[in-house]
Amino acid sequence: MVDVAIVGAGFTGLWTAYFLKQLRPTWRIAIFEQHHVGYGASGRNGGWLIGGMAGQEDWLSGLAGGQRQHSQQLLYGIVESVRAVCEKHQINCDFNHAGVLYAAARYPEQAHSAHAWLNEIHASGQPESAFRWLSKSDTESLLSMPELYGGLYSPHCATINPVKLCLGLASTLKGMGVQIVEHARVEEVSNRKVTINSQPVECGHMVLASEAFPSTWQPLTRKRLPVYSNVIATRTLSESEWQQTVKKPGLAFSDLCRSVTYGQRSQGGHMVFGARGGYQFGAKARYEFTQDDPAFRAPTTLLQRLFPTLTEQDIQYRWAGSLAMSRGFRPFAGFDKESGIAYAGGYGGEGVGASHLFGQTLAELIVESGSIFTEQPWIIRGKPSQLKNWEAEPLPWLGYQTLGKLFALEDWLCHEKKLPWLHKPLYSLSRLAAGLIH
């Protein structure tokens, strides 16, 4: 018997356990992980710690002024909140708060996209200090790319080593008395009970933090779609090589194309770079990849387009894993008081930071403390019935394949400056197609 059973030892599960221990130090908390700490998306990302959330422009624009300001403070405060925990518990995760630059790096359509996004940001009531346009010369002081047009810069992002943060949190939790059980297969979830390796464990509350792994709780079925991101990392680069690529240590950067890229100059001197990958028919999560897997061709090609001085021989590390996208690409955190089940997920690439916010949110929902964290628009009270289901196969697979090819064609034509008369209508078509799945 435990007070709280947590399924999944990724960031959501670890942070929820941490904040529960702050609120209820005497509670018995156990985390059950099918593989090992950080095995899933939490240990397989590009190390962006964003003070924000997917779809936040839509969330914030619908709020009154005072409530909007409180929500902004929660989102923007994620980075410093993580820093404070790491400093308090001496967790060395290569934390570097240098901000993020979304670069219009290769063709003018990217600059148009950036300005359209900036207008949405300001229309949602976010302050100009949250995101600002940098001129070409200002952008070039941070990044060296062949055809920069400028970029959007936000201070609300840090870079980390995600594996180090996972392991550091796990060590801290064990010191606080939290039990972490690895290689624990969750077979069944029911009210106040979870079956682990054929053994029932009774609990007062339960947290489902399994991200892209299939949920054993029926209300979450078809609410998340597992897609995988692919990440590569170079050998250690020299300072002269950094001056030809990413000039600012710790900077997170992205190429404003449809492929959803993300990179950083790591504390260890490696360039880490990733791009949204594929989707497997039948909504199957994927975590095992070989170093020569075709999945890594796209991020390699994109990296070389951005930094032509780098070759494929400079890439030494490759990894990938699945994350779970919600319909509409909006993360969620909820608590069904009747069953005692709390849940969170649906991250769209910002899960390293959003899971920290949602961990505290779930903890406060469970203990019913009532605070600013539990009064946000992304909170669900009860079962997640308000979340849209993903369509049945083959529609997700066909849609993903079609969009992927459309986005790749748009990017290739614009980058190679082919058929310029087609760029504008293709850009509009891509934008419309992307909106269909929201």
For residue 331, the domain's CATH number is 3.50.50.60
Q: Which domain holds residue 431?
A: 395-436
318 Rama class: left (phi>0) / alpha (psi -120 to 50) / beta: beta
Q: Same structural domain for residues 275 and 422?
A: no
Q: Same structural domain for residues 375 and 419?
A: no
pLDDT in tens, the chain (438 residues): 999 999 999 999 999 999 999 999 999 999 999 999 999 999 999 999 999 988 888 888 888 878 888 999 999 999 999 999 999 999 999 999 999 999 999 999 999 999 999 999 998 888 888 999 999 999 999 999 988 999 999 999 999 999 999 999 999 999 999 999 999 998 888 889 888 888 999 999 999 999 888 777 888 988 888 988 899 999 999 999 999 999 999 999 999 988 889 999 999 999 999 998 788 888 888 888 999 999 999 999 999 999 999 999 999 999 998 888 888 888 999 999 999 999 999 987 889 999 999 999 999 999 998 889 999 999 999 999 989 999 999 988 988 888 888 888 888 888 888 888 888 888 778 777 766 555
Q: Return the pLDDT at 419.
A: 87
Residues 290 and 319 sit within 8 Å (Cβ to Cβ): no
Q: How many angstroms separate the CA atoms of 396 and 389, rounded?
A: 11
Q: Return the pLDDT at 436.
A: 59
Q: Same structural domain for residues 399 and 266?
A: no
Tokens of 302: 């994109």
Q: Return the pLDDT at 434.
A: 67
Residue 387 within any structural domain of the chain: no
- Find the DSSP H helices in 319-374: 351-367
Residue 96 within any structural domain of the chain: yes
Residues 354 and 329 sit within 8 Å (Cβ to Cβ): no
- Annotate 20-89 with DSSP letters as a single string: HHHH-TT--EEEE-SS-TT-SGGGSS--EEESS-TTHHHHHHTS-HHHHHHHHHHHHTHHHHHHHHHHHT
Q: Same structural domain for residues 251 and 400?
A: no
Q: Return the pLDDT at 330.
A: 86
Q: Same structural domain for residues 143 and 288?
A: yes
What does the DSSP 8-state code read for residue 130?
A: T
Residue 389 within any structural domain of the chain: no
Residue 388 within any structural domain of the chain: no
For the chain, percent helix, then strand, then coil, each to nearest 5? 35, 25, 40
Q: Same structural domain for residues 401 and 316?
A: no
Alpha carbon of residue 70 to chain centroid: 22
Q: Same structural domain for residues 422 and 285?
A: no
Residue 166 within any structural domain of the chain: yes
Q: How many angstroms separate the CA atoms of 275 and 100, rounded?
A: 16
One-letter identity of residue 436: L
Q: Same structural domain for residues 143 and 18?
A: yes
Cα→Cα distances 128→6, 150, 209, 252, 257, Å: 39, 17, 34, 20, 23
Residue 390 within any structural domain of the chain: no
Q: Same structural domain for residues 368 and 399?
A: no
Q: What is the pLDDT of residues 168-226, one digit of tens each?
A: 999 999 999 999 999 999 888 888 988 888 899 999 999 999 988 877 788 898 888 89
Residue 217 within any structural domain of the chain: yes
Q: Same structural domain for residues 340 and 432?
A: no
Q: Same structural domain for residues 280 and 426?
A: no
Q: Same structural domain for residues 314 and 343?
A: yes
Length of the chain: 438
Number of domains in the chain: 2
